[in-house]
């Protein structure tokens, strides 16, 4: 018999196979005396479930999660969202019940997104400044019934405009009017704060909007209202189901609405860090990277350059692709759900907006 050694050279013996072959080339048992001379054996700490628990570096808990919720007007039934299996648009009464259930599970916050009737939409999105608009009524109802849960209000015009963009269109250029949009966002922030919201979350990516919103809130006596800035929001292909959920895709006539003049180029890392730095300088309390899963490298880089709390949004397309594969029987839901959230937390996110929040928290109860 002869000893055959296969190894990968270059940085020491890192990957090798030792086997004894007889003359016919059949694998034989190694001699009982064979032992590798190793001081460190990392597998020791993976040997049992108890040891693996002791060395676990990353844990996702219910208090790390924020549940996005879609609200509709009226007193009718909840509306299933076909592209987001298991997620529904909720009338305010059921929205309140859902917040009560989420709070009982230990989930500390919800992010609200309204779906308006077409009759409420216009080119200038003026319904966003209605003091009795749907999302403001929803905020009041939640804070009255479940005061302990933090409510996050999205600041953007896409649910309110006929064209589906996040701000006001400049008809002369076909692009968004940055400063005019920021003026409206600041007014939206004041209305949300007056309704009792805990956090306003500008998701529009207009230049200067965080500073303008901070100034407006402070001048109107809302110094304690938190700003969660969608700081590095990329022009992603993963937003389709969300646009369906709030009706902005249909109002624009396409699920491929082009927002590249204001959302970030997916290939641009340095530009994302510039946006992060600007939002921090303008007074953001929480920074966000969106989407989460395809941008784990950006989450890690942001974590290394700021001490501010960092949020990441596991967006609708990330959720939908997992659910679609689960429905096909190709993936295990619980394991993929947990692994996807662990990856985001491990990359450096302090909090995760995810459509899995409620189901994940329920799974921890056994």
User: In this model, does residue 3 exceed pLDDT 50?
Assistant: no
| pLDDT band per the 50, 70, 90 thresholds, residue 23 | low
Asked whether the beta carbons of 97 and 146 are under 8 A apart, the reply is no
184 burial class (0-12, 13-18, 19+ CB within 10 angstroms)?
Answer: buried
**Least confident residue range of 172-181, 209-218, 240-249, 310-319:** 240-249
pLDDT given for residue 178 in this prediction: 97
Q: Which of 268, 243, 271, 269 lies closest to 256, judged by CA?
A: 243
Which pair of structure tokens corresponds to residue 335?
């394991």
pLDDT given for residue 363 in this prediction: 96
Give helix 134-145 / helix 92-104 axis angle, nearest 10°: 40
User: In this model, does residue 25 exceed pLDDT 50?
Assistant: yes
pLDDT given for residue 5 in this prediction: 45
Average pLDDT score over residue span 282-301: 98
List pLDDT tens digits, range 56-98: 999 999 999 999 999 999 999 999 999 999 999 999 999 999 9
In whole angstroms, how large is the CA radius of gyration of the chain?
A: 25
Total-model pTM: 0.90
For the annotated catalytic residues, the residue numbers are 233, 290
Q: Which of 306, 275, 305 lies closest to 290, judged by CA?
A: 275
**Least confident residue range of 18-27, 141-150, 259-268:** 18-27
Dihedral over Cα of 254, 255, 261, 262: its sign: positive
Q: In Å, what is the CA distance from 159 to each residue of 19, 40, 99, 113, 282? A: 65, 57, 22, 8, 26
Average pLDDT score over residue span 116-122: 95
Q: pLDDT exceeding 90 applies to what percent of the chain?
A: 84
DSSP label at 29?
P
Dihedral over Cα of 61, 287, 131, 247: its sign: negative
User: In this model, does residue 2 exceed pLDDT 90?
Assistant: no
Which pair of structure tokens corresponds to residue 249?
């895709």
Asked whether the beta carbons of 70 and 89 are under 8 A apart, the reply is yes
| pLDDT band per the 50, 70, 90 thresholds, residue 27 | low
187 burial class (0-12, 13-18, 19+ CB within 10 angstroms)?
Answer: middle
Instruction: Say how many C-beta atoms besides its own lie within 10 A of residue 132's C-beta.
Output: 9
State the average pLDDT for the chain: 91
| pLDDT band per the 50, 70, 90 thresholds, residue 32 | confident
Average pLDDT score over residue span 178-206: 98
Looking at the chain, which runs of residues are DSSP E strands? 2-7, 16-21, 27-28, 65-72, 79-80, 88-91, 109-114, 150-155, 169-170, 175-176, 199-202, 226-233, 286-290, 310-314, 351-354
User: In this model, does residue 235 exceed pLDDT 50?
Assistant: yes
């Amino acid at each position: 018999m002869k000893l055959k050694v296969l190894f990968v050279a270059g940085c020491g013996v890192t990957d090798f196979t030792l086997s004894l072959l007889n003359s016919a080339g059949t694998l034989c048992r190694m001699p009982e005396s064979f032992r590798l001379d190793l001081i460190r054996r990392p597998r020791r700490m993976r040997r049992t479930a108890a040891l693996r628990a002791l060395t676990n570096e990353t844990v996702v808990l219910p208090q790390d999660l924020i549940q996005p919720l879609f609200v509709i007007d009226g007193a009718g039934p909840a509306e299933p969202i076909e592209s987001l299996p298991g997620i529904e648009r909720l009338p305010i009464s059921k929205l309140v019940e859902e917040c009560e259930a989420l709070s009982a599970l230990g989930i500390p916050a919800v992010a609200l997104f309204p779906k308006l009737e077409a009759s409420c939409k216009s080119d200038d999105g003026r319904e966003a400044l209605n003091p009795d608009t749907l999302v403001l009524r929803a905020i009041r109802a939640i804070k009255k019934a479940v005061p302990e849960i933090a409510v996050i209000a999205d600041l953007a015009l896409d649910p309110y405009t006929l064209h589906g963009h996040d701000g006001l269109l400049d008809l002369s250029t076909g692009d968004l009017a940055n400063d005019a949009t920021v003026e409206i966002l600041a007014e939206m922030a004041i209305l949300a704060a007056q309704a009792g919201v805990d956090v306003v979350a500008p998701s529009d990516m207009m230049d200067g909007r965080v500073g303008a919103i901070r100034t407006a809130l402070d001048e109107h006596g809302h110094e304690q209202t938190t700003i969660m800035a969608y700081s590095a929001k990329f022009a992603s292909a993963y937003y389709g189901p969300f646009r369906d959920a709030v009706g902005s895709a249909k109002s624009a006539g396409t699920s491929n609405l082009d927002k590249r003049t204001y959302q970030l180029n997916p290939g641009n890392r340095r530009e994302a860090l510039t946006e992060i730095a600007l939002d921090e300088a303008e007074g953001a309390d929480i920074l966000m990277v969106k989407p989460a899963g395809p941008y784990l490298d950006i989450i890690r880089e942001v974590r290394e350059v700021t001490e501010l709390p960092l949020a990441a949004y596991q967006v609708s397309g990330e959720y939908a692709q997992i659910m679609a594969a689960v429905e096909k029987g190709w993936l295990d839901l619980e394991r993929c759900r947990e692994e996807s959230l662990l990856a985001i937390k491990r990359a450096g996110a302090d909090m995760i907006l995810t459509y899995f929040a409620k189901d994940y928290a329920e799974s921890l109860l056994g």
